[in-house]
Amino acid sequence: MKKYLIIFVFCLLSAGCSNYDELNNLSIVTGVSLDKKDDIYEVSYLIANSPKGQTSSKEGEAKTTVYSGKGKTIPDAAMEIEQKSPKKIYLGHINVVVISEEISKEGFFKTAGWLIRNSETRKKFYLLQAKDEEAKNILKIVSPLESFPSQSIATLLESNHDSKSASTAITYSTFIGHVLEKGYDPILPSISIVGDSKKGSNEENIKTTTPTAYNILGPLAIFRSDKLVGYATIEESQFINLLQNQTDQIKYTLKINNNKISIDSYNISSNTKLKNKNTIDINVKASGTIQNISGNINIKDYNEIKNIENHWNENLKKDLYKIIDRMKNEYECDVFGFGNKIYLKYPRYFEKIEKDWNDKYFKNVKVNIKTNLKIISTGSLQETLKEAKK
């Protein structure tokens, strides 16, 4: 028995050394960008372990570099990078893929096939839409808070997904899944650069207390199937996430008689149900805390609080109807998946109308929204509400 155990341990150690040698000979790609200009595609790889990087993180940590290749097709552009890299390119550790507006407008599936067919990629990386900027520039911006630009983008996405309601973290698999689903149009988080992109790619950017450039998440990018058609506003983006039940908190500002009231909403839930082939019922629940009031409102008066609560319910309901109407009539994109709900319950019916869903039937779907928004507390208000409940 001991003999077999020794052999087993020896095999493990041997395999570990072999893997280490192989890893040392790889150029590990952590981020990818896809651009297009004048019918020429450009692919850029952010490589984590290049000995001579364009940018580097803190002393002692792995350096990074960006290799770019151009070609008449995406595979041709990627092949040019293979020819430049002194090590074998490895795509198994990609964190983020950033795509340009030119790529998205012509149809993402024209380039997606290259990623799908590559056996190394895990298909779980984040997908982002570059807005008003070349995708490769976004990939180069270094941050003092993360070792690699790709990790900085991934962390930015994850933290905003958890704490902000306007953005959302979408993986490649989720995006492709929504494109392929019947009656569902996808969205992507957009990303831009604030400041000088050239200076932001220099390692000096991480040595200053105020970076000369940084990446920032913007409004949601709206797709019809796999093609970019436009962007929501920041405010609309949080309403889309709310209706998709992808956020549990939003910040909301009310105006009552020229008084501004800021409400932090949390514990938000949105439940969408199909009533019949042409009717959708949506129920929204949330708790809220009043954070700021500019004006003459007596927050110790329970009736005033109920008035604010009523305005909050009515105003949010109007905003939700507005974004649904915009998706119906301006973009003709069902990012809420209403059609998918109809397909799941009435598959034969939906298959008959599928070709005309976005242009005709989606516009005529009746949507009923009910809100149940309750103001719980705000500092001294807590005692007021407790007394009112007695």
Residue 14 in any domain: the answer is: no
Do 368 and 282 meet the contact criterion of CB atoms below 8 Å apart?
yes
Quote the CA–CA distance of 236 and 249 in Å, as a whole number. 14
In b/e form, how buried is each residue of 120-154, taking b as 16+ CB within 10 angstroms? ebeeebbbbbbbebbbbbbbbbbbeebbbbbbbbb
Task: Count CA within 13 A, CB hemisphere, residue 112.
Answer: 16
pLDDT higher than threshold 60 for residue 11: no
Whether 149 is covered by a domain: the verdict is yes
Do 158 and 245 fall into the same domain?
Answer: no
- The verdict on 275 and 153 lying in the same domain is no
| Residue 2 maps to a domain | no
| Residues 45 and 142 both lie in one domain | yes
Residue 176 lies in a domain: yes
Check if the beta carbon of residue 328 is closer than 8 Å to that of residue 336.
Answer: no
Of 231, 260, 287, at which residue does a domain stop?
A: 231
Judge if 267 and 285 occupy the same domain: yes
Q: Once rounded to an integer, what is the mean pLDDT over residues 263-280?
A: 93
pLDDT for res 297: 77
Is 270 in contact with 283 (CB distance < 8 Å)? yes
Q: Which of 173, 205, 231 lies at the terminal end of a domain, its last residue?
A: 231
- One domain for residues 199 and 273: no
21 part of a folded domain: no
Q: How far is Cα 335 from Cα 240, in angstroms, rounded to an integer?
A: 8
Q: What is the mean pLDDT of residues 179-197?
A: 90
Are 239 and 183 contained in the same domain? no
pLDDT tier, 159 (very low <50, low <70, confident <90, very high otherwise): confident
Q: Are residues 132 and 165 in the same domain?
A: yes
Q: Are residues 213 and 290 in the same domain?
A: no
- Quick: pLDDT tens for 169-186: 899 989 999 999 999 999
Domain edge (last residue) among 205, 231, 257: 231
pTM value is 0.84
Judge whether 84 lies within some domain.
yes
**pLDDT at residue number 54:** 45
* Domain of residue 247, CATH code: 3.30.300.210
Q: Which residue has the higher pLDDT, 18 or 225?
A: 225
Could you tell me the residue range of the domain that residue 376 belongs to?
Answer: 235-389
| 61-95 confidence digits (pLDDT tens) | 446 788 999 999 999 999 999 998 888 888 888 89
252 lies in the same domain as 347 = yes
pLDDT over 70 percentage in the chain? 80
Residue 312 falls inside a structural domain: yes
Q: Are residues 271 and 382 in the same domain?
A: yes
Residue 4 has pLDDT above 50, yes or no: no
User: Do 139 and 288 have their domain in common?
Assistant: no
Domain count, the chain: 2
Asked if pLDDT for residue 145 goes beyond 80, the answer is no
pLDDT band, residue 200 (cuts 50/70/90): low
65-68 long-range contacts, CB within 8 A, separation 24+: 66/136, 66/139, 66/140, 66/201, 67/27, 68/42, 68/43, 68/44, 68/136
Q: Are residues 308 and 203 in the same domain?
A: no
CA 112-323-251 angle, to 5 degrees, is 100
